Amino acid sequence: MSSSTPLPLPQLPPPVAEVLNSFLQSAKDAFGPDLLSAVLFGSAAEGKLRATSDINLILVLAVFSEAKADQLRQPLRVAQAAIQLHPMFLLKDEIPHAARSFAPKFADIRRRRAILFGDDPFASLSIPRDAEVRQLRQQLLNLILRLRAAYVAGSLREEQLGLLIAGALGPLRSYAAVLLDLEGRPAASSFQALQSLGAELAIPDWPQLSARLAATQEARISAPGEAPRLFFPLLDLACRIASRAEALSGEVRRESL
């Protein structure tokens, strides 16, 4: 299981830190004592923010009231436009149920989080292993199905295919990290998790492929003809990771007997 120790506060680019701090102050002003914690998670919490990365933030609340939420509408619009901020408004009492319902996501939050305000609401969070394995399989299959459908619908335009590849790589890294964590081999980062799995799964020309995928994610555009050459290796990688998750499912079933 992933560590329950939060990461130290990351060094964010000054423009990102300024907008994030401004939004957090607006949240404090809006919710007052109902705001219990603010938790940064994902690549921003690791201090590995890319130009194309979203900023993921959880605001843990005692109560979500209309009047207080309304005060945060304009600050959120500004932050979404400026730094791609994606907040989750989570009541404290909902945390155990949310962790069971979205086990891989909250396993990733346990692994990659930094506390910006208040107490750590995930310090003692326990996520059932069987739920985490089951939902990891579901999320991988969902990603695979969405990739196939999006390829057929949008691959005539290479710029759309490049965006599809760029958008899929982040979730795939997170799923790789959760998988290695479940296997008892946690990686230092989600990036390293995917690097390790790509090598273990014998993906052809993996070092070069990994670099090209990362470049496409960073730029959200690729050289002419590059995106079609990257898509099916990426899809193959997702399918092989899904097969590893399926093997974990068999282990869980045997453990329950």
Report pLDDT digits (tens) over 242-253.
Answer: 999 999 876 655
Smallest CA-to-CA distance from 57 within 93, 100, 12 is with: 12
pLDDT band at 80 (very low <50, low <70, confident <90, very high): very high
129-256: in CATH 1.10.1060: no
pLDDT at 1: 42
Q: Do domains 14-118 and 129-256 have the same CATH topology?
A: no
Q: In the chain, what are the helix, strand and coil shares in percent, each to the nearest 5?
A: 65, 10, 25
| Domain extents in the chain | 14-118, 129-256
d(CA 250, CA 223): 42
Report pLDDT digits (tens) over 157-203.
Answer: 888 898 899 899 989 999 999 999 999 999 888 899 999 999 999 99
**Average pLDDT estimate for 51-75:** 93
Residue 78: φ, ψ to 5° = -65, -45
Q: Is the pLDDT of residue 5 over 50?
A: yes
Angle between helices 226-256 and 158-182 (to 10 degrees): 30
**Average pLDDT estimate for 77-83:** 96
Q: Is the pLDDT of residue 3 over 70?
A: no
Arithmetic mean of pLDDT over the chain = 90
CB 119: neighbour CB atoms within 10 A? 12
pLDDT at 2: 47
pLDDT band at 53 (very low <50, low <70, confident <90, very high): confident
Report pLDDT digits (tens) over 93-105.
Answer: 999 999 988 988 8
Angle between helices 158-182 and 206-219 (to 10 degrees): 120
Strands 55-61 and 85-91: parallel
- Please give the share of the chain, as a percent, with pLDDT higher than 90: 66
Report pLDDT digits (tens) over 131-163.
Answer: 899 999 999 999 999 999 999 998 888 888 988
pLDDT at 251: 64
Angle between helices 103-111 and 129-154 (to 10 degrees): 100
pLDDT at 179: 94
d(CA 2, CA 42): 14
d(CA 231, CA 213): 9
pLDDT at 159: 87
Which CATH number is 14-118 given? 3.30.460.10
d(CA 26, CA 69): 11
Say which residue, 137 or 225, is predicted with more confidence.
Answer: 137
pLDDT at 255: 54
Q: Is the dihedral of CA 109, 140, 210, 15 positive or negative?
A: negative
CB 101: neighbour CB atoms within 10 A? 12
Whole-angstrom CA distances from 131 to 96, 165, 238 are 12, 28, 20
pLDDT at 257: 46
Tokens 């304009």, located at residue: 74
